Amino acid sequence: MKLTMASSPHNHSLKSVNKLMLCVMLACIPGILVQSYFFGIGVFIQLALALITVSLAEAAMLTLRGRPVWPTLSDGSAWLTGVLIAVSVPPLAPWWVVVIGACFAIVIVKQLYGGLGFNLFNPAMAAYVLLLISFPVQMTAWLPIQALLSAPLPVLDQLALVFTESTRSGLSLEQARQVIDGATGATPLDHVKTATGQNLTVTEAMDNSAFTHFAGEGWQWVNIAYLLGGLYLLKAKVINWHIPVAMIVSLSICSLFGYVLGNQAGVAFHLLSGATMIGAFFIATDPVSASTTNKGRLIYGALIGLLVYLIRQYGGYPDAVAFSVLLLNMAVPLIDYYTQPRTYGHGAKK
């Protein structure tokens, strides 16, 4: 029997990196399916574009660095980044949006820092912020759910909008966003934020067909689907509970105080809108850029939840998961430094 010596920490997990990444991607499937049901086939178009782009970008960078391509590409980390970028951009955004984001995530954020395990920031969220700041019009062009469109877009028109930025009949995306019952094309978070800024109450802002009693029509089911996927990751012990629970509890407490003290949306609205659940279970829990100690994970998750609430309520962007995660990525070394567990035997009496 061959005895292999290795330094600590000793990882007893039987899951390899590619199996862990596969589990996370499988857990995304319920959310992706629900998202495509409400927002159309564009979700799958963006997904295909992102996966192709991250594969080519990773292969090109590995070749330039003189590294073997398939062993690294097959670990699935680049594919998971592509999945997270694809579900973050509007389904009918122009094709070049997701391509630019995927290239930036792999080439700049991941490979130029040394590859998996060396990146300081979450690649998917760094790409999302780049796209949102650089192309705000394209990145906020979310259509209402298919049921609210006066004429749901055929598959060929959705394909045409992604690749030519107009339907087969020549309609632009803005013209295709015409809906019924006074619902707007803005996301629920953006609509409520704008309406309350115009001195309307939250109840008045949500008084149209784009909203249910709890959150935006369709968006609540998307978040519930990602929540189910996240619970699977917890059960399979792919992620720890500390970050998602701390983030959700922190966001809930902040939104509860806001609801009680002022004209602000309630807890259910914040938890079931935007990228809350995918952020809590799939993005904030990135093992490379997140905190690594249990106490640190609780602080990390809680601060993300606080920042999400503050930016949603008082910032210039309706959703804030990406910004919050990136800001806390920068604080991870400090958090880990002050929350590292005591070394065995340290301080013990002799």
pLDDT at 172: 83
Which carries the bigger pLDDT value, residue 104 or residue 211? 104
Over 80: is that where the pLDDT of 103 sits?
A: yes
Over 70: is that where the pLDDT of 136 sits?
A: yes
Take residue 273 and report the two structure tokens written for it.
């809108």
Alpha-carbon span 320 to 313, nearest angstrom: 10
Closest by CA to 27, choosing from 322, 282, 273, is 282
Q: Is the dihedral of CA 6, 9, 12, 15 positive or negative?
A: negative
Closest by CA to 156, choosing from 171, 177, 144, is 171
Percent share of the chain, pLDDT over 90: 66
Closest by CA to 250, choosing from 270, 224, 229, 278, is 270
Residue 211 pairs in a beta bridge with 216
Task: Encode pLDDT of 164-194 as tens digits.
Answer: 999 888 888 877 766 544 455 567 888 788 8
Over 70: is that where the pLDDT of 13 sits?
A: no
User: Global pTM?
Assistant: 0.90
**H or E element at residue 269:** helix 267-271
Residues in Cβ contact with 323 at an 8 Å cutoff, skipping those fewer than 6 apart: 129, 307, 311, 315, 317
pLDDT at 318: 73
Amino acid of residue 135: F
Task: Encode pLDDT of 34-90 as tens digits.
Answer: 999 999 999 999 999 999 999 999 999 999 999 999 988 999 999 999 999 999 999
Alpha-carbon span 76 to 95, nearest angstrom: 23
Residue 47 CA: distances (Å) to CA of 100, 130, 319: 14, 18, 21
Task: Encode pLDDT of 207-253 as tens digits.
Answer: 777 777 778 888 999 999 999 999 999 999 999 999 999 999 999 99
Which carries the bigger pLDDT value, residue 29 or residue 315? 29
Are 162 and 92 in contact by the 8 Å Cβ rule? The answer is yes
Take residue 61 and report the two structure tokens written for it.
């960078």
Task: Encode pLDDT of 193-206 as tens digits.
Answer: 887 778 888 878 78
